[in-house]
Structure formats: structure tokens, C-alpha cells
Amino acid sequence: MKCELCHKEDAETAIVLHEKDEERELYVCNACAKRERMRRQKKKSRMSITVTRVGGDGAEPPPIIEAIMNAMQGVVKGLERAAEEEKAKKEPEYSVFPCSRVESAYKVGDRLHLEGLHLVGEMEAVHRAMRALDMKLEGYEVDGVRESGHVYSLLYQGSQERARRVIADILAQERNARSRLLNELPRVFGDAICRAIAVMKNCRLLAPGEFFDLLSPIRLAALNDFVDGVSLAEIDKWMRKCDLSPRSDGMTQEERDRADSELADEMNARFEDVVLDERGEELFL
């Protein structure tokens, strides 16, 4: 008689096979008998826990389940509270220091003009000092030019008197930087001036942010009477009227190029006769 499971080997022993609510006696080979015995043992060792209801029908949940539930409620409440606190955090409120009394040589409109500190490479140190004092110098960023023209508003926390002292220190450093440009770094100063004038004469496209930035070193040259063909009043007028607001997203690239080309053509013609004067040539050439 062949094994009733594998139907290959001769039957050697009898086993009882449990299927649902029935029992069947089968005659099987020793190998199939061993496999069936192992299958029954594995089935018995499995543990399956299914929780269908905790505390149903008004019953209290088991202590361990209740503890877990309470702990999870505490975690959720903690996360919600942290989210609310984070949402409540706001950017500190700053006041803008009025620059109406600042000497005209050191401001453009109502902002500080710190081109000297930029050219001598000290603006980053100034920014770090402002952060340490819970203040900041806010410049323009437009047309891809960061801190265009190096003109800034001072934003401060605390008393205005404290901010006034900081402004005085900044202006003292700017005066020192401009003196260094003349006496120690004339090539750096001359490069900034000559490069800006050359771009004004020859550019084919000129965005407002770049225009404003190029006027900045030319303004320092005009303050020192180093240029002929353009006046300080004219430069200040251009800088005050320059539109440094973000350009409309509605403009197409063609429209932007047209506006930039018109400004370039205007400045090409205007700066055609702008040159270093005798003092400027003596110092920079």
C-alpha cells in the first residue's frame, strides 16, 4: 500500500489528520509522518492576539492598556503644545533708525551709504557685529545683485539712543574706510571707479539693480571731485529715483531685455564724456 500523502513511498505507519472538525486516519510513509508532526508543532507554537474592543460595554480597560493609552495621550498633547509654541514664535520686531540727521555724504535717500566699508572688505565683519547687538543692516537685493549699491537701513531692538551710538560708530568706520581707500588702497578705489564708468559707457543691457550698484563707487569719486562730466547731484538723483522693487513676474524676458537695453543706451550716451579729472588721473592712473 502506498503512502496516502505522497503516493510514492510504501505506507509504514498510521497517523490521525485533523481537518476542520473532522479526523481522518491515514497510512503514510515515515517521511510524511515526520513532516505532519512538525507541522502540528509549529501550528501550536504560533500566538495570535486580536484586540477587538478595549473597555467595551462600559468595562474598564486592563491596567497595562490604560497606562499605554495615557502615555500616548501625554505624548500627543506634548507634541501639540510644542507645535503651538513654535507657531507662536515670531521674528523679533525691529524699528528702523531714521537717518535724517546723518551727514549727506554718508547717506542715499534715507539709507546709509557704506561703499567704503565694502571696498576695503569689512562689511561682513560689520554684519556680524550687528547680529551680536540684535540689530541688522538691511540692504537691497534686486536683479541678482546682493546688497546693491551698499546702502542700508539700520533695524534695531531696544532704545533709539543705543541705535544712535551704533550709527555713530558705523559712520566713524566708514570715514576711516574712505580714508584708507585714498591713502592706502588707491588701486582698489580706482579700479572700482574706472570699472563702473567703463560699464556705463559700453554695456548693452543694464538692469536697475546693476545700475544702482555701479553708481555707488562713482558717487564716492564725485564726493572727492575725481570725475568730470557728471555731478554728485545728478548721481544722487539717479540713485533716489532708481526703482529697486522686485520686477513684475508678469514681464516676459523680451520685455525685461527691452527695458534694460533702453537704460543701457541712455547711460551709454550720458557717460560718453565722463572721465577722471586731473586729480583722479594723478591718483589712479
pLDDT tens, position by position, 191-203: 999 999 999 999 9
pLDDT at residue 215 is higher than 90: yes
Q: What is the pLDDT of residue 49?
A: 40
pLDDT in tens, 169-191: 999 999 999 999 999 999 999 99
Q: Report how far residue 234's alpha carbon sits from residue 82's, in angstroms, rounded to the nearest whole number.
A: 55
DSSP code per residue over the chain? -B-TTTSSSBP-EEEEEEETTEEEEEEE-HHHHHHHHHHHHHHHH--------SSGGGPPPPHHHHHHHHHHHHHHHHHHHHHHHHHH--PPP-EEPP-TTS-GGGEETTEEE-HHHHHTT-HHHHHHHHHHTTEEEE--EETTEETGGGEEEEEE-S-HHHHHHHHHHHHHHHHHHHHHHHHT-HHHHHHHHHHHHHHHHH-S---HHHHHHHHHHHHHHHHTT-EES--HHHHHHHHHH---SPPPTT--HHHHHHHHHHHHHHHHHHTTT-EE-HHHHHHH-
Q: Report how far residue 265's alpha carbon sits from residue 263's, in angstroms, rounded to the nearest whole number.
A: 6
pLDDT at residue 70 is higher than 70: no
The whole model's pTM is what? 0.68
pLDDT in tens, 256-274: 999 999 999 999 999 999 9
In Å, how far from its chain's centre is CA 184?
36
The residues that bridge with 27 in the sheet, in sequence order, are 14
Q: What 3-state DSSP class applies to 26?
A: strand
227 within 8 A of 280, measured Cβ to Cβ:
yes
pLDDT at residue 164 is higher than 80: yes
Query: Could you tell me the pLDDT band of residue 235, with boundaries at 50, 70 and 90?
Result: very high
Range 232-244 average pLDDT: 95
Grid coordinates given for 285:
592712473
What percent of the chain clears pLDDT 70, i.e. is strictly above it? 82
Query: Could you tell me the pLDDT band of residue 211, with boundaries at 50, 70 and 90?
Result: very high
pLDDT in tens, 101-160: 999 999 999 999 999 999 999 999 999 999 999 999 999 999 889 999 999 999 999 999
pLDDT at residue 66 is higher than 90: no
Range 59-81 average pLDDT: 67
Q: Report how far residue 196's alpha carbon sits from residue 219's, in angstroms, rounded to the nearest whole number.
A: 10
Range 233-260 average pLDDT: 88
Q: Residue length, the chain?
A: 285
